[in-house]
Structure 1
Amino acid sequence: MRFFSSSVAFLVSFFAFTSTGFASQAGEAAAATNIPPAWWIAPLASVIALVIAYIFYRKVMAAPEGNEKMITIAGHVREGAYAYLFSQYKVVAFVFLLLFIAFSALAYFGVQNPFMPVAFLTAGFFSALCGFLGMKTATSASSRTAQGASKSLNSALQVAFRSGAVMGLIVVGFGLLNITLWYLILDKLVYTAEHMKQGLEFLGLTLVPKGMLASSKLGEITATMVTFGMGASTQALFARVGGGIYTKAADVGADLVGKVEEGIPEDDPRNPATIADNVGDNVGDVAGMGADLFESYCGSILATAALGAALSINVLAGEGMNPLGAVLAPTLVAGIGILLSIVGIFLVRCKDDATQKNLLHALLTGTLSSSVLIIAAVAVMAGTGWISWGIFGSVVAGLVAGVLIGQFTEYYTSDEYSPTREIAEQAEMGAATTIINGFATGMYSAALPVIAIVACILCAFGFAGGFTHMALGLYGIGFAAVGMLATLGITLATDAYGPIADNAGGNAEMAGLGEEVRKRTDALDALGNTTAATGKGFAIGSAALTAMALLAALFGSIRIWIARLASESADGLYTVGKVSFFSGETTKQIEGAINVTTASIAD
């Protein structure tokens, strides 16, 4: 999915750039781009998210670390995580350098957007920065969470969850800040009235063509910004695949040595692979998942903005919207989502005698509260003419789908429900039946989330008016993705919480803490296993909606490009689509086989 998103972003930029100046559907858009005051909520929210993340980080670091043995164990995990991360970043930096040179050459010869190389680097840099800061916080929080468990269950939950919230808030903060800053630079410094009239060149590159139509300004800005997806997707590819292989290799290796060969329990200090196992939890579910959702978050906003720029002024007028509002609305929804996700984070707390169901309910309270508040805020946007009521329905569809995916995943992964208990019962009969039952349960678990995603797509398409105007329906699907990811600040916090709680349990076990402490960390660990699975379902669902929006933006760019070549139709797209489908499906199978083989070798 990462390679797919990266490729689509590249193609959108290519076809949009090679169609510069062509009077497309966006050609009727108004030239005025005076930013409405309400839009400034978006950059302000991103800054607030980063400030709150820093406050949470300071509070986590102020919590007691525990005894000397706990500090030593946490230090080993942190050292291993840094070693992996820096090794990966060296390879990623080399790949980014090669791609930067290639994209610069394409830009120099006029094949690609001149801003693409720099936009590619900035997105990759912010994604990598989020991974580093999230990892730094998570590895510092494990011993503190274990020490908090010696006091109360809620104390441990607060340390672990707020550590996870640091990752959630820096992803949405840096993601939206990058988008809004680029928009301001392009709008106020590059695509000015003077530059569009006289042209703008720099180091032999034509940044703005002479005599550029003012009506194509929004289309050019959004086409440029979509190229962020290339950098975010490339970084996510390394973080997700590399981190996933390391995680599974370390996990399986530790289990083989400990449980199978030596018959010792998990997280036993006598098992040398235990530290690697704890490191793997962080590189896969903190840095890896963070990069994955950073890409989806930015991609959904940018693709929806590009689709808004492609809507004709007549269609927008019929919905009570304007061209500039159609482009800026996704960032405003994202900004509102950040602020209200912070509210939800502060609502997460529990009692000391809480069961896993109580803990799950505590997290659900935060997520649902944020979702309800976002729905109310987006309704205000619809009432003030920022978006149509149909688009409001699309946003609600995305939010509801995100909550449902989380609940479906919780049902199949929590030990409070029958699926996991049935698998445990099968273990009394032997390994073979356990594997078969677990595999079958996993296959069952995919059905309901997929149904939720399909229903979300259909509802978003219909609510937005897709059965009347196809372009509006696609715009609505993009907003469904934005809506689903509007709660990312708290959703990613619940996911990043998982490896922190897991590491805290390992720290407590290896440090030989009391049974009561271990009981509390086990409860948090069990909750973390469920939230980690929920995060994966959320990531896949949001990636599916983002991919739909990116494809729609791609096809819109191709149609403009074909029209520029005086073609009467875009029927060739269907042939291209068929070829892409088969080649993409084959690539997916091969990539999956390579990943599994690599993990098995690393065991």
Structure 2
Amino acid sequence: MQQFLTDHGIGTSLVLGLVGLGVAGLLIRTVLASSAGNERMAEIAAAVQEGAKAYLHRQLVTVLIIAAVIFAAIFKLRGWETAMGFVLGAVCSLAAGYIGMMVAVRANVRTAQAASVSPHSALKVAFNGGAVTGLLVVALGLLSVGAFYLMIREFSGNTKVAIDSLVGLALGSSLISVFARLGGGIYTKAADVGADLVGKIEQNLQEDDPRNPATIADNVGDNVGDCAGMAADVFETYAVSLIGAVLVGYLTALNQSMAAVIYPFVICGVSIIGAILGIGFVNVAPISPTKALIGGVVVSGLVSAALLWPVTGMFFPQALEFSGKPVDARSLYICVAIGIALTFAAVGITNHFTSTAHGPVRRLAKACETGHATNIIAGISTGHHATVLPVLCIVGSIWWCHQEAGLYGIAIAVVSMLSLSGIIISLDAFGPITDNAGGIAVMSGLDPDVRKVTDELDAVGNTMKAVTKGYAIASAGLAAMVLFGSYVEELKAILNEDFRFDLMDPRVIIGLFIGGLLPFSFTAYAMDAVGNAAGAVVKEVRRQIAARPGILNGTEVPEYKTCVDIVTKAALRQMILPALLPLIFVIVVAKIPQLGPVALGGVLVGTIVTGLFLGIAMTSSGGAWDNAKKYVEDGNHGGKGSPAHAAAVTGDTVGDPYKDTAGPAVNPMIKVVNILAILIIPILFR
């Protein structure tokens, strides 16, 4: 059986990936078969679709210019195999985000219509629309990495060449992810902040009021930032984690055992079955939306864990040595279980800090009673508190997995954690679909009860978005540890020496400081971009309202396209510098002779540590601020129009770029730094 799995494990996994694509196709048909509502709803939905498609096309042109330069450099310095991997990773990352977003912008209007029938009908349409993105991420990730590896191995006849070429695929997916996260995040939060500051605070308009000139841009932004951006983000984390595990398995396993290389593919393939069953559970469970969605994650995790127990035993019937340490099937399965348990922990902890049902958000809402400043202070402290438990869980996971199976054990835990992306990303894409559904319900004049249903689902969706960001960042921290280990192992192989980092070496300390600086500089540029673009939106909305008073009494229609154009240009222009910062830092440090590979190793660790804390704190604060606003709007602490509500809106607008631009973009940025370092080892340090 072990020989069969070794010979056919990747092929079997690819078949399961195709099954995932097939189920995604069935879900697309199911969503599109639902009613799209009346003519007015279709008109608004079409405007959102048009804006989202136009932005992604313009973003693609911008990114292609930069990607072409990088492709040429990789082709010259690392060969055609790595360069083709770079192209494949970039294309699949774009495809996962683009297809998922195009389904989401069609699911939103159908969710609004379904909400007029029943809450559960709306839940099913919104979740199935999001599940398309979830399954696309895992299926395309597994298929791209597995098929490319097999193709290059067959063509070159060399396993090492095939594995090295996967580093290019990882860089391509990571680079696209940074641009998608930054560009989409700048777009969505500039529109959202601008719409809220003038619409809610200055003009006392409700959310998504059609009289607000920025409302279409806001709805478009939900899709390009939360759907396309998140899909590209987790696709790259999934692909990079799988590639990292394959690389570590090859570098550390005794005699470069193929079982260690193929096992990560099998974990990903088996977990697609768990994701499909988890999606089915959400569709049939007659329970509350929150319980149904969390239940889907639990079902997916437990099914995957149950299936992987016998598979692990068959793969490793005898202990295998990794870097001189004997590791058996039991130890590796413990690492699988730790990865799944860490997913549950990340979901539970983030839910606690960002859900309206728990203390942190309610305390934050209460702080709004005493003003804007106390709300901001409470929100920042909530984000800082939210770092403690996730980091302790990550630290504990690293220690335990290393005790069981060394660096390979940590890599397996990361793959196990990311293998649940199919169900986790379904939860994330659910959020913007329900948010847009509420906007369409208001703009098309549906019964207020419909908006009540979509608001309830949107509150759940806000928590789910925060949960998935916490999951993505926690997995990124664990994955970055594996990539750093791969960097060290690759250096040992290239330099033919026992390469170690000494904290008494000033080069290591210099690298740590430079690496620690990078996430702060990166997030500062991202926040600046949102603030500048949001300011331009505020001025434009004020200009339209002043120049055309009929907008507020409904006799004139706002110029929606002007705001859309403002945020589109701002996002495309201001995403470039922060997206290129990781490349600049790595190459400059590597090229300075006095620093070299030693300092670069310090850069990687410094980036991981500060990036992890910043990412968790920013996304948790932002999610808590958002739901604190919704808690006040539900009638607590004075409700809509009260001083507490004005303070809550301020907190939400500060939290928007925290949770949807700067914070989540740290995740792929960490991976770009590590992957690029691995990529340049044979170029600069041979």
Per-residue CA deviations over 1:183-231 (Å, capped at 9, x if unaligned) read: 221232321xxxxxxxxxxxxxxxxxxxxxxxxx433322221221110
Report the CA distance between 1:120 and its aligned residue.
Answer: 0.3
Runs of 4 or more, structure 1, over 4 Å off, are: 32-35, 567-577
The residue aligned with 1:61 is 32
Report the CA distance between 1:113 and its aligned residue.
Answer: 4.1
Per-residue CA deviations over 1:79-110 (Å, capped at 9, x if unaligned) read: 1111211111001111111111122222xxxx
Cα distance in structure 2, aligned partners of 1:34 and 1:334: 14
The residue aligned with 1:163 is 129
- Does structure 1 retain, via aligned residues, the 8 Å contact 2:431–2:464? yes
- 1:530 equivalenced with 2:463 (yes/no): yes
Cα distance in structure 2, aligned partners of 1:34 and 1:368: 27
Cα distance in structure 2, aligned partners of 1:440 and 1:397: 29
* Aligned-partner SS, 1:263: coil
Q: Taking structure 1 as reference, are residues 169 and 438 closer, same or farther at Cα in structure 2, changes over 3 Å only? A: same
Q: Taking structure 1 as reference, are residues 443 and 350 closer, same or farther at Cα in structure 2, changes over 3 Å only? A: farther
Specify which of 395, 406, 423 is matched with residue 347 of structure 2. Answer: 406
Task: State percent identity of aligned pairs.
Answer: 39
The residue aligned with 2:90 is 124
Cα distance in structure 2, aligned partners of 1:52 and 1:337: 14
Q: Counterparts of 1:481-492 in structure 2 under 5 Å? A: 481-492=414-425
* Greater Cα shift, 338-347 or 385-394: 385-394
- Does structure 2 retain, via aligned residues, the 8 Å contact 1:154–1:350? no
* Greater Cα shift, 340-349 or 384-393: 384-393
* Greater Cα shift, 381-390 or 517-526: 381-390
The residue aligned with 1:71 is 42
Q: Counterparts of 1:19-168 in structure 2 under 5 Å? A: 35-106=6-77, 112-168=78-134
Report the CA distance between 1:340 and its aligned residue.
Answer: 1.4
- Does structure 2 retain, via aligned residues, the 8 Å contact 1:412–1:441? yes
Per-residue CA deviations over 1:270-329 (Å, capped at 9, x if unaligned) read: 101111111111111111111111111011111111111112427xxxxxxx80110000
* Aligned-partner SS, 1:329: helix
Q: Taking structure 1 as reference, are residues 160 and 576 closer, same or farther at Cα in structure 2, changes over 3 Å only? A: farther
The residue aligned with 1:292 is 233
The residue aligned with 1:504 is 437
Q: Counterparts of 1:337-416 in structure 2 under 5 Å? A: 337-349=271-283, 358-386=288-316, 388-416=329-357
Q: Counterparts of 1:426-505 in structure 2 under 5 Å? A: 426-464=367-405, 473-505=406-438
The residue aligned with 2:243 is 302
Report the CA distance between 1:426 and its aligned residue.
Answer: 2.1
Specify which of 508, 511, 516 is matched with residue 585 of structure 1. Answer: 516
Q: Counterparts of 1:319-338 in structure 2 under 5 Å? A: 323-338=257-272
Q: Taking structure 1 as reference, are residues 220 and 264 closer, same or farther at Cα in structure 2, changes over 3 Å only? A: same
- Does structure 1 retain, via aligned residues, the 8 Å contact 2:153–2:161? no
Structure 1: runs of 5+ lacking an equivalent:
1-31, 107-111, 192-216, 315-321, 465-472
* Aligned-partner SS, 2:445: coil
Q: TM-score, structure 1 length as denominator?
A: 0.83
Q: Taking structure 1 as reference, are residues 424 and 34 closer, same or farther at Cα in structure 2, changes over 3 Å only? A: closer
- Does structure 2 retain, via aligned residues, the 8 Å contact 1:401–1:453? yes
Specify which of 264, 271, 291 is matched with residue 212 of structure 2. Answer: 271
AA of the residue aligned to 1:343:
L
Cα distance in structure 1, aligned partners of 2:95 and 2:344: 28
Q: CA RMSD in A?
A: 1.9
Q: TM-score, structure 2 length as denominator?
A: 0.73
Report the CA distance between 1:169 and its aligned residue.
Answer: 0.7
Q: Taking structure 1 as reference, are residues 156 and 571 closer, same or farther at Cα in structure 2, changes over 3 Å only? A: closer
- Does structure 1 retain, via aligned residues, the 8 Å contact 2:263–2:315? no
* Aligned-partner SS, 2:134: helix
Structure 2: runs of 5+ lacking an equivalent:
317-327, 535-686
Q: Taking structure 1 as reference, are residues 176 and 300 closer, same or farther at Cα in structure 2, changes over 3 Å only? A: same
- 1:519 equivalenced with 2:445 (yes/no): no
* Aligned-partner SS, 2:95: helix
The residue aligned with 1:468 is none
The residue aligned with 1:181 is 147
Cα distance in structure 2, aligned partners of 1:187 and 1:243: 36
AA of the residue aligned to 2:267:
V
Cα distance in structure 2, aligned partners of 1:453 and 1:146: 39
The residue aligned with 1:599 is 530
- Does structure 1 retain, via aligned residues, the 8 Å contact 2:350–2:466? yes
Per-residue CA deviations over 1:481-523 (Å, capped at 9, x if unaligned) read: 1011111101000011100011011111111211221221111
Cα distance in structure 2, aligned partners of 1:34 and 1:493: 30
AA of the residue aligned to 2:127:
F
AA of the residue aligned to 1:445:
A
- Does structure 1 retain, via aligned residues, the 8 Å contact 2:351–2:467? yes
Per-residue CA deviations over 1:146-181 (Å, capped at 9, x if unaligned) read: 000111111101110010011011111111111111
AA of the residue aligned to 1:169:
L
AA of the residue aligned to 2:490:
S
AA of the residue aligned to 1:151:
V
Report the CA distance between 1:351 and its aligned residue.
Answer: 7.5
AA of the residue aligned to 1:326:
A
- Does structure 2 retain, via aligned residues, the 8 Å contact 1:41–1:336? no
Cα distance in structure 2, aligned partners of 1:441 and 1:541: 17
Structure that is richer in helix per residue: 2
* Aligned-partner SS, 1:537: helix
Report the CA distance between 1:35 and its aligned residue.
Answer: 4.5
Specify which of 441, 450, 473 is matched with residue 540 of structure 1. Answer: 473
* Greater Cα shift, 329-338 or 411-420: 411-420
- Does structure 2 retain, via aligned residues, the 8 Å contact 1:229–1:298? yes
Cα distance in structure 1, aligned partners of 2:122 and 2:408: 43
The residue aligned with 1:317 is none
AA of the residue aligned to 2:217:
A
Q: Taking structure 1 as reference, are residues 100 and 499 closer, same or farther at Cα in structure 2, changes over 3 Å only? A: same
Cα distance in structure 2, aligned partners of 1:409 and 1:569: 38
Report the CA distance between 1:572 and its aligned residue.
Answer: 7.8
